Structure 1
Amino acid sequence: MSDDPFGDLDAAMGDSGPSTSDSEAESTQELTAETDELPETGQEVSERSPLEDPAFEFDETVHKALYVLEAVAAEFDDIITYDVERELTRDHGLRNIKKSELHNAALAVVAEHPDLIVDRVLDQRGIDDE
């Protein structure tokens, strides 16, 4: 008997391993390469549509914990969902908007304005820096 108590779980559930073969994985990698051609067929891959496709894939992201007050988190979520996402959809015709894309944009805007972060921290502490 194996030391792994879950060692035979895959077999019992009918899972014989990874769902893609090595050749399928290679084909997928070839498809995502910069050649813009389907492997073996020479057909071009359809272009990415900026209105339909996110700016980047989810697997390119990292998960980071942010520690915020509950009220600020709720306000942020509301603004992202009800203001930003709605405007992107209604006024700009974007589809398939991912939260990771919205969060990335929000943090990029914040990163461009460190002076506003300094001002807010001083304000939160009740320090008048003027």
Structure 2
Amino acid sequence: MDVPEPVRRFLEGDRESWLRVEEYRDADSLVVKAQVPGIDPDKDADITLTGNELQITVRHEEKTEHKDKEGYRSEFRHGTFSRTVSLPAAVDPGDVTASYTDGILEIRVPVPEQGPREGRKVLVTRV
């Protein structure tokens, strides 16, 4: 049985190390969005392009304080979250753009138009 990647990671207990992303085509670009509120994109986000793989890594630290009549409580949550997105073709890293608005990291990757792929018969030779 083929288990989807997010389900497999959840079942294996790896819920904190990956980012959820949204991917779609917009004209001649692949758009990848990740919801990462509360980060400083200059310090906390790394985007790397290697061949036809886009690697997104985000470091996040969240501090929550609760004060009540009984005392003081503090919780810290931090970690490094990453996701690799496969691209349909290798892309020039200089053409990739990224922006961060209202907690959403958006990466735009230009994808060259691909014509219809024609099948080609491969001949088998006897040896």
TM over 0.5: no
Structure with bigger strand share is 2
Structure with bigger helix share is 1
Q: TM-score, normalised by structure 1?
A: 0.16
Larger Rg: 1
